[in-house]
Amino acid sequence: MTTITWQSVQAEALRRIRSREWPPGAQIPHEADLATELGCARATVNRALRDLASAGLLDRKRKAGTRVPLNPVRKATFDIPIIRLDVQARGLPYTYRLLHQTTAAPPPDVAQRLMLPGDTPMIHILALHLAANAPFCLEDRWINPAATPHITTADLSEISANEWLVQNAAFTAGDVALSAIAAPPATAHHLNCPPGAPLFTVDRTTWAGATPITCVRLCYAPGHQMQAKI
């Protein structure tokens, strides 16, 4: 007697989806029926379909049964590591340089992203992260001191605001926008690249519940890649 593995059930389910034997929009057989048909335990079918569901290839609803989605929306997941760890994971020595720190009212677009009145005094940080002494990422950050009162005791020339906030201002939610920008002259100067060079750019705003913590623009030196898995 051969044992039917969940991997072989998964391969068979995948074959039926790809051959359109189970066409887009259609409900697939119940787990118990599939188990009988394929000669395996129901738990084996359940295990086989779980990965397909989490990959977006099947849509499992508690009461409505399992369907092949009409327009599957696949999801990719990206790690958002501390910049120091991102550099060190590339096998390169990391250094950090605080370029500028002040307290000021933020520009209107920053106040709007943080949903704070425009005259709220905030901490502004400009800092350069280096990999093997070459510019890696320019961090331009506004911090809401009301959300992070301890930050006044932090020496941000010793530890980056990126790292200090991760350790001291746990956030519950964040928005991220990724884009490509032409390096503005000042940014190009700090990143040691020609003005107008294409820069991979991350704009991030984070919140602790309803309290805005920080909004940051990270401009990476030309050639940067961000990897993800589907």
Residue 169 in contact with its own copies, rule: CB under 8 A: yes
Query: With respect to its own copies, which residue has the nearer C-beta, 35 or 68?
Result: 68
Q: In angstroms, what is the minimal distance from the CB of 186 to its own copies? A: 16
Residue 131 in contact with its own copies, rule: CB under 8 A: no
Evaluate whether 200 touches 86 at the Cβ level (below 8 Å): no
Query: With respect to its own copies, which residue has the nearer C-beta, 7 or 102?
Result: 7
Residue 193 in contact with its own copies, rule: CB under 8 A: no
Distances (CA, A) of 142 to 110, 116, 159: 8, 12, 16
Distances (CA, A) of 100 to 12, 108, 195: 59, 20, 21
Q: In angstroms, what is the minimal distance from the CB of 35 to its own copies? A: 22
Cα(97)–Cα(158) distance, rounded to whole angstroms? Answer: 8
Query: With respect to its own copies, which residue has the nearer C-beta, 40 or 52?
Result: 52
Q: Which of 32, 43, 115, 182 binds its own copies (CB under 8 A)?
A: 182
φ, ψ for residue 168, nearest 5 deg: -120, -15
**DSSP assignment letter at 14:** H
Residue 65 in contact with its own copies, rule: CB under 8 A: no
Residue 168 in contact with its own copies, rule: CB under 8 A: yes
**DSSP assignment letter at 115:** T
Q: Dihedral of the CA atoms 62, 64, 68, 73 (nearest 10)?
A: -60
Residues that bind its own copies (CB under 8 A): 11, 14, 17-18, 20, 24, 51-52, 55, 57, 71-82, 85, 166-182, 196-201, 204, 206, 208-209, 220, 222-230
